[in-house]
Amino acid sequence: MSIHVQRTLKAKLVKQYPKIEDAIDELIPKKSQIELIKCEDKIQLYSVDGEVLFFQKFDELIPSLKLVHKFPEAYPTVQVDRGAIKFVLSGANIMCPGLTSAGADLPPAPGYEKGTIVVINAENKENALAIGELMMGTEEIKSVNKGHSIELIHHLGDPLWNFSVE
What pLDDT, in 10s, does the model give residues 74-129?
999 999 999 999 999 999 999 999 999 999 999 999 999 999 999 999 999 999 99
pTM, full prediction: 0.90
| Contacts (Cβ under 8 Å, ≥6 apart) of 131 | 62, 63, 64, 65, 68, 117, 118, 119, 120, 152, 153, 154, 155
Q: List strand residue ranges (DSSP E) for 33-89, in order.
A: 34-38, 43-48, 51-57, 60-63, 77-80
The count of other CB atoms within 10 Å of the CB of residue 141 is: 29
Report the distance separating Cα 52 and Cα 37, nearest Å: 9
Report the distance separating Cα 20 and Cα 28, nearest Å: 11
Average pLDDT, the chain: 91
Report the distance separating Cα 136 and Cα 1, nearest Å: 37
Domains and CATH numbers, the chain: 3-70 (3.10.400.20), 76-155 (3.10.400.20)
pLDDT digit string, tens, across residues 24-47: 988 888 888 888 898 888 889 999
- Residues 84, 98 contacting (CB under 8 angstroms): yes
**Three-class SS of residue 121?**
strand
